[in-house]
Amino acid sequence: MATTLYQHSTVAALKAGVVAGNQTLAQLLTHGDTGIGAADQLAGDVTILDGQAYQSQANGKTQALAGTVKVPFAMVHANQPTIEQTFENVDQHVFEQQLLSLYPYQNVLVALRVTGTFATMQLAVNRSAAVTDQTAQRQFEAHNVTGTLVGYYVPSFYHGVTQTGFHLHFLNEDHRFGGHVSGYRIDTGVVQLQALNALQIVTPTHDQQFLNRRQ
Amino acid sequence: MATTLYQHSTVAALKAGVVAGNQTLAQLLTHGDTGIGAADQLAGDVTILDGQAYQSQANGKTQALAGTVKVPFAMVHANQPTIEQTFENVDQHVFEQQLLSLYPYQNVLVALRVTGTFATMQLAVNRSAAVTDQTAQRQFEAHNVTGTLVGYYVPSFYHGVTQTGFHLHFLNEDHRFGGHVSGYRIDTGVVQLQALNALQIVTPTHDQQFLNRRQ
């Protein structure tokens, strides 16, 4: 069973300005079919679902990306969930706390996928600002949208290597709307969980900017 | 070329008290022949050199360990250094700063091995205290010892996952004296460096203590 979360580069490197794409999506997708990432120069967010990567722009507008496109950061895994449960009419914070209390995942990387209808979906419309300064993150809100939340729960000791806590991206059902999720309320949703026992971090040591940038 | 640092568990888990051995050395050594680790219940330090693991007790006394012995934490890699340089009559801090200025390894995991004679070698004689409270670390000092320093330089963004900065263990030439290094001065030493572009962290998700312990 695939239990590895494969990560290209680190959040610390992004924060230090190493934001030029330095790995192709085609290469990344050899390590998984599902995940999240950042676009070249942080011009939007990347969501990977069923082996296809999508880029969401600041206004939520989303389009499929070719395998030749390079990204500066991504996390992918092979989607093989082992737990499935339905949730209805629940706010983000209650939902996330319930997941952590229902399952013994205090110190475990967990892949999370929620398919359903969301009463509200708040997206961060300026990923660049969100990475470099959380306070500058503006929000974009949609209502009664159907689609898929995809991402990870990451224990706090991975801070620095990656974003900790819940980190989710959204892709609507026709794959034309989505982005980095900052808030949501589930109307009806099926959550699928997959515990991952390994994290493989590969850093772009072929990138001169990565080698030399002070953090 | 082997470029992966394989880590079993995390320093954060050790600090949270997940200190019972939960992986055999035999299994760990399938991922590398060189490295460092902690002993069961933090009763001493583990140093791995040329495919053999050794345990150093509080007084520096060191002995070989069988493959069936389980440890709660370890980092290993396949020793294939690409850089070799001789240093003479140099203090720890000057030596480590020179390495970082000579080589473009600001954001890179680096495996480090120094074989030589050390004018002074300070070892931390209470690993348990050192992990859980740096101020409680007592020191044990030897003079004019010949042997090998082995360990890693870890960039700061890996904080939480592992110990950052230089993390070195010492093993003397007859493998009967060694431990966790807190200071040293090189008389004459040959340093070998190996850049590692990947970190694979495998967490003991089969260990109930790991699953449930709050950090």
- C-beta atoms of A105 and B213 within 8 A: no
Cβ of B107 within 8 Å of Cβ of A13? The answer is yes
Which of B6, B154, B203, B207 to probe the A interface (max A CBs under 10 A)?
B203
Write out the H or E segment, with its range, that includes residue B106: none
A55-89 tens-digit pLDDT: 988 778 899 999 999 999 999 999 998 899 999 99
| Ramachandran class of A17: left when φ > 0, alpha when ψ lies in -120 to 50, beta otherwise | left
* Domains in chain A: ranges and CATH: 4-78+200-212 (3.30.1330.80), 83-196 (3.30.1330.80)
- Answer whether A161 sits within 8 Å of B157, measured CB to CB: yes
pLDDT tens-place string over residues A156-213: 777 666 667 788 888 889 888 888 888 888 888 888 888 777 788 777 777 777 766 6
Decide if A104 contacts A193 (C-beta within 8 A): no
Name the nearest CA neighbour of B111 among B13, B198, B171: B198
Query: Cβ B11–A210 below 8 Å, yes or no?
Result: no
Q: How confident is the model at residue B146 (pLDDT cuts 50, 70, 90)?
A: very high
What residues of B are in contact with residue A194 (Cβ under 8 Å)? Answer: none
Looking at chain A, which residue has its C-alpha nearest residue B159? Answer: A160
Burial of B20 (0-12, 13-18, 19+ CB in 10 A): middle
Q: How far apart are CA B9 and CA B201, in angstroms?
A: 7
Chain A residue with CA closest to B100: the answer is A212
In the prediction, which pLDDT does A14 show? 81
- Mean pLDDT, range B157-186, rounded to an integer: 80
CA distance A210 to A201: 14
Task: Report how far residue A108's alpha carbon sits from residue B109's, in angstroms, rounded to the nearest whole number.
Answer: 23
Q: How far apart are CA A153 and CA B2, in angstroms?
A: 30
What per-residue confidence (pLDDT) applies to A215?
54
CA dihedral (B41, B42, B48, B53) positive or negative: negative
Nearest to A36 by CA among A145, A113, A136, A141: A113
Query: Which tokens sit at A211?
Result: 């080698």
Do the beta carbons of residue A47 and residue A150 sit within 8 Å? yes
Question: In the block, which residue shows the tokens 């991975």?
Answer: A158
